[in-house]
Each structure stands twice: as C-alpha cells, then as structure tokens.
Amino acid sequence: MAKKKKTPDIVREQTEVIAEARPQYITDTIITNYMPYVMSVIVSRAIPEIDGFKPSHRKLLYAMYKMGLLKGDRRKSATVVGEAMKLNPHGDMAIYETLVRLTRGHDALLHPFIDSKGSFGKHYSSDMAFAASRYTEVKLDPFCNEIFGGIDKNAVDLVPNYDNTLEEPTLLPTSFPNILVSSNMGIAVGMASKICSFNLAEVCDGTIMLLKRPHMSSEVLLDVIKAPDFSGGAYLIYDRNKLAEIYETGKGSVKLRAKYSYDKEENCIDILEIPYSTSIEIILKNIADLVKNGNLKEISDFRDEIDKNGFKLTLDLKRGVDPDALMQKLYKLTKLEDNFECNFNVLINGSPKQLGVKGILEEWIKFRLECVRREKEFELNRVQERYHLLEGLSKIVFDLDKAIRIIRDTKNDKDVVPNLMSAFELDEVQANYIADIRLRSLNSEYIESRMEELSELAKQEVELISLIGSEDKLKAVIIEQLKEIKKKYGKPRKTEIITETEVIIKEVKPEIESYKAKIYFTDKGYFKKVKLTSLRMNDDHNLRDGDFIVKEQDSDNTELLMFFTDAGQVYKSKVDDFEPTKASQVGDYVSAKLGFEENEKYVGGISIKSEEDGGNIVFIFKNGKGVKIPLESYITKTNRRKLTNAMSTASPCVYVGYEKEPYDIMLVSENGRGLAVSTADIPLKTTRTSNGVTLMTLKAKNAIAKAENATEEKFGQYRKFKKSIPSAGAMLDKK
C-alpha cells in the first residue's frame, strides 16, 4: 500500500489563513488602499498651490536655480532634465514636457519662466512637436528673480527630497500672485483645476487695492482686474455677470473668439489669433467637416500658414462672399469661438479649496506676509549677529594696546580667546572675531568705519523689529514690491475685451449659385431638380414602379422649398440642398433627405423665391374642404428647418399649392365628378391648423381623389366645371 504524502507546512499554513479570512467591506478597502492614492494625486501632482506651481514645475525651476541658471549661458535641456530628476523621480520625457510648457518658445504663458533656444512647439498646435532635449538649450528667464527672491533667506520651508540627499522648497516665495498670472490646469481624482491667466499689471493693481482695502467686494476688484488675459490673444466677449460669478466663486466660463483680418486684394481671410482653449488642428477639422458635408460653400481653399512670424490660418473666399458674415457663421459652427471653463481649485495648506479671484488674492496675501516676515526675521538675525560682533570690537577700541599685549603675551593659541574674554567681558563669539582681525586692520580708518557700521546696524535692528511686528508695514513692503514688478514686467493686454454690442451680428447668407431648373414632385415622395441644359438632351423621366409626377414647375436654384407631411408638419429646405439630377434618374427620396419622422409621409410641396415674398399656401383636403393660409404664418424668428402644426390633420391633404395671384384648381372625386375652383374663392385663415370650408359637396363614402392645377391641356374646357361653391361638380368626360 502506497504511503500517504504529508502536506507541506507552508501549504497547511496558507490553508489555515484562508479559512480564517474574514470578509472586508468595500468602504474599508477604499479607505485603506484608494484614499492614500487619491490624496497623493491631489496634493503631490495635479492641483497647483498658492505660489501658482504644481510640484513638477516647482522642482524643475528650483533645480535650474541651484544650477545657477539665473545668470550665465544656457545649458542643454537634457542636462537640466537630468538635474531635475534628483528632485523629481519621474521619467525624463515627463520632466521635459513640463519644461517645454514653461518656455518662452512654447507661447503657453503670458510671462514664461524659461528663456529657450530651439524648437519647443506651440501650445496652439497639438501636432507641432518639440525637438529632443539634446538639441534645445535653456536658462531661467530674468522674470524668475521674482519667484526666488528670499528663498535663501528662509522665506519658505525646505524639506528633504525623495531620497534624503538634497533639500527642496515646499513653495516658492513668489513676490506677485503668480497663481493668477500663469494659467494652470490639472486633473486629479474626483476633482480638477483649471485656472485662467490674468494680466500681470492688473493683478498687481488689484492686489495693492486689496492690501489697502481688505473688505472691498469682488465687484470693485472687477473694475481693476478687468477680465482674464491669455497668451494666445483673441477677443474676450465681456459679460460682467459671468465674470462677477468667477471672481466670487471661482467657477464659470468666459467666451473667446478668434481675431481675423480680410485681405481684399487676395480675397482671403487671415485668422491671426484663436481661443486659448482650442488648437489649429481642431479648427481645421471643423472646417474640413463643414466643407465635406456641403455646409461651407463660401470658401475655395483653406490652409495652415504658421511660420516664424507666428500663427496664421488662411481661408480663400469665393467671389462675392461677405467675409464678416462668413466669420459669424464660422464662430457658430467651429471652435473659432469657444468657452474657457474656469474651475479655481487651489491647495491651501495641503487642502484643496475652490476660491474666487478675491479669495485667491486673500490667501496669497496671507502667504506673502509670512514669506516677507520670515525673510525680515532672517535679515534681523544677520544684523543682530553682526551687531553682536561689532559690539565686542567696541569694547576694545579704547584700549587696543591692552588687547594686543594680551594676545602677544599669551603663550598658547588656545588661551588667546579665554584671556580676551576675561579681560574685556566678551563672549566666545566676540573674542574669536577680535582674535581673527589682522593686525594691519587695527588702524583708525578701520575702527571708525566699524563703529559707524555698528551705529547703522542699531538703526536697522530697530527698523526690522518694528517692521516684523507690524502687519501694516509688512503690507507696505509688499505694495512697493508689486509696484516695482508692474513697472518692470507689466505688459499691455493680449486678449482684447469686446462687449456684446461691439460683436458684429450679420445674417449669414451663404452664396448659392443661381441657375434655372425644372423641379418635379412625385406621388411617392421623390423630388427631382433637373437643369434646363440637361433637360434639353433627354426629357424621358425614370420613376419608381407605380410612381408618377404630381407637380412640375420652373424654379431657380436659390428658391425655398416647403414639404408638407401627413403628420401636419412642414420641412423647409433650399433647392440648392438637392443635387441636380438627370431626367433618367429617380431623384431624392424626400423623407430620407430631410429626416422625416418614422412613418411620416410627404403629401405636397411648393417652391417660392423667399418667405418675404408674401402670398398664400392653398390646401385641399380629402373631405372636400379647402383653406388658404398666409405665407407669413410660416415665418419664424430663428432659422427653423421644421415646423409642427403646419396644417390641419382632420382630413388627409390631397393638394398643396402656392398662390401669389389667383388661379384655378380642378377637384376630382372618387366617383368621377369634377369641380373647378378659383383660389380667389377659397377663404383665407390665419390659423395654420384651420379646417377650411367645404368646396365640393360629397355623398357618403365618397371623397376627393385628387386635385391639380386646372389647365386646358389636362382637362380641356375645364371652365364648364366652374360652379358656385359649395358644389357637387359635374361628371367628367370618360376617355
């Protein structure tokens, strides 16, 4: 008998653990495993802090600062990326992409932080790639003096980097509200941040005003910081109510539209600036789709003409096109007009908060007051340390000979400092300082200058102590710094503010080629447009089995079509919307072309030059009734393609016609009787769904079979069928 194998200890232990395992609630799993990841993304990656930087930005700029790149020549970007990796443990490409966005060459910021040389792509193009880091060169822009001032004076905390080999700042001591000057976007877990940029000069003025008047409202601030300002320029359509909401809550949107110029000689539009929130590739795709779908017939060509001079998108126009009207159309149909959605989420002391413009400035003022206070405390410590040394020197100036004699007579070097301390009541620091002074420096000039310095240090100490203890004086320092920054770096707005009244509003009327054509409406709901030149060559019509032409008329390609359906609806279209066909083709199925509702059938249509031409629409119903509705009843303020309640549905419609001048209609009943009716005798009703009045009296189970325009070609001497209405008509001749 085979001996039973013994279960290994490790298997047995794992089995026991599984057996003893208890179910874990999903909430516990989220708290234990997911929430730390969420907070890491929010705090350490995606959301900017009050200095206006995300950790990746801050680490990169600080690495460049420690490399001495505020001065001197540019260095290869690859070298900078390598240094930044000591603080930011990510891949080189992730760091380089961060660097690219901060450069002058990329054009993403109103005030770039990195002076660059080489190709860095453009923020308005997703396809324009930046060159590899080994080819480009960078250094810090002089503007960075305003974000690093005081960093070596303990203005902010320094913490160990990820491997405890270096120190890095938790924040940068920006001397202006960079959080509002530099646009910033980030997507965290469960929240996102999207901060637009504002003009530096306006932000400085607004901050100064808030420092002086802490309780002023956001409305007052809006008069100084007028609106967002974007590096891409363009127009901002001013809406004070929406801006006030953003300034108060930090959430809302601003509407931007592209700037353009019209070149009359070349007959083209040059689009020179586009909304910050879009790209040229998106706009080109928008235009290409419109051209492909036949909705943009005003242009003959369009192309990207971006060059070293900057952005340009050119549209070649067809002859006679109004450029302003075309741009109004493109603003509606493309991203040439776009909204920038604002969501001002900012980390304040490690916690995300949604703040308005005023709230952000208030938090920045708190942050900056602390930075300036710490910087001044650092300076006070240095002044006090120096004062302490010179105070010791002042104790020996009146008996230098004694001090020299003590040093000379002391046998051991280690006893010099203790002997000076006991002789002149000095502490060890002061005695060391005096002992280290060279003998040649102990002249009258040196002593006098040190005593003057001592007096000056005493004044500085008093001033610094007073400054540190007074919030108003600290604010005054910040105000002076802001004034200097505005004077040194302030620029005119790039994004031009326009009001709703300044926006050009024109009715968009695309140019439609005008030519004569013959149009045909068939019984089965088909429509044909045949050019007269094509009709001359062949006028034999090809139709679906059982179909026949119910109406034909001369028309122009620019005319308006109205198709009425058995659901009492009318669909508007242009003759131009239908492609010209030959008589031998069946034409377009109207229901599919215009998107009728399910089971909705076409019952009649008309062609008119314009809705403004006046006239009436004539309806004849199967129950023998008829009515005229004024054309103006179908005119709407907006360009609606479909109207409901366009006619009565009490009885099926058998005829739709257009009356500019009175004409005759022949009504034919199912039992073979005919009645010729003048449209002048049909009553006019203003309500579109009116049932009308009886024109032809019908016996039970009888109805109107058809109604057509009365012509001698079809009905011979049809006038003999004219009778006073209502009438039963007369029997038609059998053929």
Q: 39 pLDDT band (50/70/90 cuts)?
A: low
Final residue of a domain: which of 474, 489, 504?
Answer: 489
Predicted confidence (pLDDT) at residue 507 exceeds the cutoff of 50: no
Predicted confidence (pLDDT) at residue 13 exceeds the cutoff of 70: no
Q: Is residue 1 part of a domain?
A: no
SS3 assignment, position 145: helix
Predicted confidence (pLDDT) at residue 506 exceeds the cutoff of 50: no
Beta strands, E only, 72-145: 75-76, 114-117, 137-140
Q: Which of 163-172, 193-202, 509-518 has the lowest mean pLDDT?
A: 509-518
Amino acid symbol at 464: L
Half-sphere exposure at residue 652, Cβ-oriented, CA atoms within 13 angstroms: 11
Distance CA 290, CA 85 (A): 47
What pLDDT, on the 0 to 100 scale, is given for residue 12? 57
Domain extent for 522: 516-731
Mean pLDDT along residues 562-574: 91
What pLDDT, on the 0 to 100 scale, is given for residue 17? 53
Look up the CATH number of the domain holding residue 55. Answer: 3.90.199.10
372-416 pLDDT, tens per residue? 999 999 999 999 999 999 999 999 988 888 988 998 888 898 999
Let me know whether 263 and 157 are in one domain. Answer: no
Final residue of a domain: which of 174, 200, 217?
Answer: 174
Whether the CB-CB separation of 485 and 175 falls below 8 Å is answered with yes
Q: 585 pLDDT band (50/70/90 cuts)?
A: confident
Let me know whether 165 and 309 are in one domain. Answer: no
What pLDDT, on the 0 to 100 scale, is given for residue 244? 93
Look up the CATH number of the domain holding residue 319. Answer: 3.30.1360.40
Let me know whether 313 and 448 are in one domain. Answer: no
Let me know whether 296 and 411 are in one domain. Answer: no
Predicted confidence (pLDDT) at residue 2 exceeds the cutoff of 50: no
What pLDDT, on the 0 to 100 scale, is given for residue 273? 93
Let me know whether 300 and 383 are in one domain. Answer: no
Which pair of structure tokens corresponds to residue 499?
Answer: 């009001």
Q: Is residue 324 part of a domain?
A: yes
Q: Kind of pairing, strands 549-556 and 516-522?
A: antiparallel
Query: For the chain, what is the mean pLDDT?
Result: 88
Give the pTM: 0.68
Catalytic residue chosen out of the listed positions 25, 34, 37, 135:
135
241-258 pLDDT, tens per residue? 999 999 999 999 999 999
Q: 322 pLDDT band (50/70/90 cuts)?
A: confident
Distance CA 102, CA 105 (A): 9
Beta strands, E only, 475-544: 496-499, 516-522, 526-531
Let me know whether 617 and 546 are in one domain. Answer: yes
Final residue of a domain: which of 120, 147, 174?
Answer: 174
The residue assigned the tokens 């999903």 is 26
Let me know whether 370 and 294 are in one domain. Answer: no
Whether the CB-CB separation of 588 and 500 falls below 8 Å is answered with no
What pLDDT, on the 0 to 100 scale, is given for residue 579? 87
Look up the CATH number of the domain holding residue 462. Answer: 1.10.268.10
Predicted confidence (pLDDT) at residue 73 exceeds the cutoff of 50: yes
Let me know whether 547 and 670 are in one domain. Answer: yes
Mean pLDDT along residues 57-66: 95
What pLDDT, on the 0 to 100 scale, is given for residue 583? 83
105-158 pLDDT, tens per residue? 999 999 999 999 999 999 998 888 899 999 999 999 999 999 999 999 999 999
Total domains in the fold of the chain: 4
Q: Is residue 473 part of a domain?
A: yes
Q: Which of 272-276, 354-358, 586-590, 610-614 has the lowest mean pLDDT?
A: 610-614
Whether the CB-CB separation of 547 and 526 falls below 8 Å is answered with yes
Kindly state the percentage of the chain with pLDDT values over 70.
Answer: 91
Q: 204 pLDDT band (50/70/90 cuts)?
A: very high
Let me know whether 480 and 531 are in one domain. Answer: no
What pLDDT, on the 0 to 100 scale, is given for residue 485? 96
Q: Is residue 210 part of a domain?
A: no
Let me know whether 646 and 523 are in one domain. Answer: yes
Q: Is residue 399 part of a domain?
A: yes
Question: Which string of b and e fits 352-378 if b means at least 16 CB within 10 Å?
Answer: bbebbbbbbbebbbebbbebbbbbbbb
Of 274, 263, 338, whose CA–CA distance to 310 is shortest? 274
Let me know whether 646 and 600 are in one domain. Answer: yes
Q: Is residue 571 part of a domain?
A: yes
Which range has highest mean pLDDT (4-18, 498-512, 665-679)? Answer: 665-679
Which bin fits 587, alpha (ψ -120 to 50), beta or left (φ > 0)? left
- In angstroms, the first-to-last Cα distance of the chain is 112
Q: Is residue 609 part of a domain?
A: yes
Instruction: Please give the DSSP secondary-structure letter assigned to residue 6.
Output: P
DSSP bridge partners of 656: 619
What pLDDT, on the 0 to 100 scale, is given for residue 553? 85
What pLDDT, on the 0 to 100 scale, is given for residue 523? 85
Ordered alpha helix ranges (H), 629-729: 712-715
CB atoms closer than 10 angstroms to residue 5: 6
Any residues with CB less than 8 A from the CB of 201 and at least 6 apart, and which?
A: 486, 490, 491
SS3 assignment, position 484: helix
Which range has highest mean pLDDT (33-42, 58-67, 590-599)? Answer: 58-67
276 part of the active site: no
What pLDDT, on the 0 to 100 scale, is given for residue 310? 85
Let me know whether 270 and 381 are in one domain. Answer: no
Q: 1 pLDDT band (50/70/90 cuts)?
A: very low
Mean pLDDT along residues 284-303: 90
Q: Is residue 451 part of a domain?
A: yes
SS3 assignment, position 661: coil
Look up the CATH number of the domain holding residue 585. Answer: 2.120.10.90
Whether the CB-CB separation of 342 and 348 falls below 8 Å is answered with no
Predicted confidence (pLDDT) at residue 626 exceeds the cutoff of 60: yes
The residue assigned the tokens 């400054």 is 467
